[in-house]
Amino acid sequence: MTELLQNLIDGLGRGSIYALLALGVAVIFGVMHLLNFAHGELITVSGYVAFWTISEGWSWYLVTPIIIGTAIVTSLVIERVAFSRVRGSSDFTLLLTSFGVHFVVSAIFLLYVSASVKTFSRPRWVTNTYSIGSLHIEVFDTVVIGVTLVTLLATSWLVQRTMFGLALRAAAADFDTARLMGVRSDTVIRGAFALSGLLAGIAGVFWLMRAGNTVPSAGIAPMLKGVLAALIGGLGSLRGAVLGGFVLGLAEVLLRSRLPDSVASLTEGFVFLLIALLFIFRPQGLIRVAHAERV
């Protein structure tokens, strides 16, 4: 029982970061039907910014807003340079464009920075734990869960209660009609990329605090978590993406702690296997989104 509770808390911590990443992926999928394989590159870029600033001796309190700002700006730049040019293209083109962006960004760091791992110091409190009864809880997880909850509530308010949110939902439901109704596509799409960047930035801060290093290919892992979580939840559903993130985090923690030692290193493989099974039995993901197609 205690172990299960422990897993639950660990899973929530891990799942929070995934949920933020997945939400960023889902927001963009909603407005332009683009599954963003370049989403992790926001963290790659942020990672190098963190490396450069922290090795200059800047404190994490200062670096945190810089990382978030970097992610937002990078997201908007990528939209401007690449995605704005393929709006309305086929799924095939959109997917490969984001794949291409992923490669170009990581290759630029590989070429013009370095292929080697760049490490930077992590805040001291990241590894601290405290105990409640027999539970050992990381200070880090507590902060992550708290910040994520606040972020999700704020995002929910933004999407449900503001004009921008209304435009975002309208565009997600039916982009062409939303445009006819006067929703400005540029504004909505850029807003979505900014929001996606903000969410990735917050997730990125936590990701980098935990990792304490970066490499040119650092974006692959967060991208994969975000994309898979969004898919588990049901592509296009914001709520589903958040749910998918938590489910993925919990599944990873549970598998890692329950699998026998001999195969524990294959946890990721088993997670993928579970996801594959999920898709065979529930191909629409956890939350079904109606895909309106006019016939």
Partner 1 sequence: MAEQRGLGAAHAGMFPNLRRDVAFPVVGVGLLFGAFIAVGLLYQSLFSGAAERLVTIALIDAIIVLGIQIYVGNTGVLSFGHIGFGAIAGYTFAIFAIAPAEKAKRIPDAPFGLTNVDVGSWAAVAIAVAVTVVVAVFVGIGLARSGAESGAVAATVITLALLFVTHEVARHWPEMTGGERAGLSFRIGGALDTRVPIYLALAGALVLARLFAQSRRGRLAKAGREDDLAARAMGVNPMVQQMIALLISVVVVSIGASLRVYETGSILPENFFFNYTLLTLAMLIVGGRNSVTGALFGVAVMTVGRELARRLGQDGFEVFGLGLDSAPLDWIFRENLQTVFFGVAMLGFMIWRPKGLLSDWEFDDWLYRRFTRTQSPPEVPEASMDSEQDARLEVDNVSVVFGGFQALSQSGVEVSSGEVVGIIGPNGAGKTTLLNIITGIITPSSGQVRLNGTDLVGTPSHEIARAGLVRTFQNLRLFGSLTVRENVQVTRLVAIAEHDDRSTPETDVLVAAAGLWDQRDRRAGELDYGNSRRLELARAAAARPLFLLLDEPTSGMSDTESLAMVEQVQTMAALVGAGVVVIDHDLDFITGICDRIYCLDRGSVIAVGTPDEIQADPAVQAAYLGSSAS
Both tokens assigned to 52: 């450069």
Residue where the block lists tokens 């435009």: 167
Q: How far apart are CA 106 and CA 169, in angstroms?
A: 32
Q: How far apart are CA 153 and CA 282, in angstroms?
A: 28
Regarding 33 and contact with partner 1 (CB under 8 A), the answer is: yes
Regarding 149 and contact with partner 1 (CB under 8 A), the answer is: no
The answer to whether 34 and 98 are in contact (CB under 8 A) is: yes
Among 62, 65, 103, 129, binds partner 1 (CB under 8 A): 103
Q: Which residues of 17-45 are buried (b: 16+ CB within 10 A; e: fewer)?
A: bbbbbbbbbbbbbbbbbbbbbbbbbbbbb
Regarding 108 and contact with partner 1 (CB under 8 A), the answer is: yes
Regarding 177 and contact with partner 1 (CB under 8 A), the answer is: no
Task: Identify which of residues 132 and 290 has a Cβ nearer to partner 1 in the complex.
Answer: 290
Q: Whole-number minimum distance, CB 76 to partner 1, in Å?
A: 17
Q: How far apart are CA 102 and CA 86, in angstroms?
A: 16
Task: Identify which of residues 41 and 138 has a Cβ nearer to partner 1 in the complex.
Answer: 41
Q: How far apart are CA 156 and CA 149, in angstroms?
A: 10
Q: How far apart are CA 248 and CA 174, in angstroms?
A: 29
Scanning 57-184, the segments in alpha helix (DSSP H) are 60-81, 91-112, 139-161, 163-173, 175-180
Regarding 240 and contact with partner 1 (CB under 8 A), the answer is: no
Regarding 180 and contact with partner 1 (CB under 8 A), the answer is: no
Q: Whole-number minimum distance, CB 107 to partner 1, in Å?
A: 4
Regarding 92 and contact with partner 1 (CB under 8 A), the answer is: yes
Q: Whole-number minimum distance, CB 67 to partner 1, in Å?
A: 24
Regarding 274 and contact with partner 1 (CB under 8 A), the answer is: no
Q: Whole-number minimum distance, CB 120 to partner 1, in Å?
A: 24
Both tokens assigned to 99: 């794949």
Number of residues that bind partner 1 (CB under 8 A): 51
Regarding 217 and contact with partner 1 (CB under 8 A), the answer is: yes
Among 66, 73, 82, 166, binds partner 1 (CB under 8 A): 82
Task: Identify which of residues 43 and 101 has a Cβ nearer to partner 1 in the complex.
Answer: 101
Among 8, 104, 135, 158, binds partner 1 (CB under 8 A): 104
Residues 6+ apart with CB under 8 A from 227: 22, 25, 35, 36, 37, 39
The answer to whether 187 and 30 are in contact (CB under 8 A) is: no
Give the interface with partner 1 as residue ranges (CB under 8 A).
33, 35, 37, 82, 85-86, 89-93, 95-97, 99-104, 107-108, 110-112, 115, 217, 220, 224, 227-228, 231, 234-235, 265-266, 268-269, 272-273, 275-276, 279-280, 283-285, 291, 293-295
